[in-house]
Amino acid sequence: MQLRSTPFLLALAAGMASAADLRGYFEGNCGGGYLQCGNVGAGTCCIILRENGLRGSPSIAVVFAGTGTQLFGYQRTRDGNSCGSIAAQKATGGLSYTCLDIPAGTGEFSGTRWYPPGLFLKRSPATSCAPTSTEECTGLATPDLVVLNDGHAFGLTGVDDATTEVLYAFAANGSTVADLPESVAGLEVDGEGVEARVRMMRN
């Protein structure tokens, strides 16, 4: 036999993923533009705060995940933990994607994580991390991509905080690529993916 089963292939066969994308949207129901932590492992907290931590996201999504993946949305606790207190949880079911709105009147999500099937909402901050033997809950990620309402995407890796905040502000107020100043327009990435991202948008 030339093709041996590797753990990777087994994981695919079982519908499991070792990494997925987490998104924090600027509107409810995963509408419009978003911030994305790409390719994050289970249990890593994607921090989706902006405006110096004053604003978060009314809706979040996990994308390119395995079936049954558990998406958790958090609010920040006083100790500054952006994944400190669970606000909502949802499973992808038979899909590789799910969208989760924050319960009405609760504010906004400050962070999000995903876990493999089988973990359920625990309210206590001490256990809200719900690590299993294989998943840590100490990892932190900040968005590496910001996507505008029109599907144009901008890379944030190596970009300074001030420029990142400018991009966040344009994305959050529904600006399109034509509205961007030249200083940030050059950060555009993955132009071929614009149409696919627009098709995935719900508004």
- Residue 72 or 168 with smaller CB distance to ligand NAG: 168
Contact between 154 and ligand NAG per CB under 6 A: no
Q: How far is CA 148 from CA 28, 47, 121, 136, 169, in A?
A: 15, 18, 31, 32, 10
Among 175, 184, 188, 201, binds ligand NAG (CB under 6 A): 175
- Residue positions counted in the chain: 203
67 binds ligand NAG, rule: CB under 6 A: no
60: phi then psi, degrees, rounded to nearest 5? -135, 165
3-state secondary structure of 163: helix
Instruction: Determine the Cα–Cα distance for residues 153 and 189; give it in Å rounded to an integer.
Output: 6
Q: Does 169 bind ligand NAG (CB under 6 A)?
A: yes
What is the distance between the terminal CA atoms of the chain, rounded to a whole angstrom? Answer: 49
Can residue 173 be called a binding residue for ligand NAG (CB under 6 A)?
Answer: yes
CB nearer ligand NAG, residue 169 or residue 185? 169
Stretch that binds ligand NAG, among 77-85, 124-132, 146-154, 170-178 (CB under 6 A): 170-178
DSSP string covering 17-31, please? -S-EEEEEESSGGG-
CB of 100 to ligand NAG, least distance (A): 26
Question: What is the smallest separation between the CB atom of 175 and ligand NAG, expressed in angstroms?
Answer: 5
The Cα 24–Cα 60 span in angstroms is 5
Write the binding mask 114 to 153 for ligand NAG: x where contact by CB under 6 A, - elsewhere: ----------------------------------------
Binding site for ligand NAG (CB under 6 A): 169-170, 173, 175
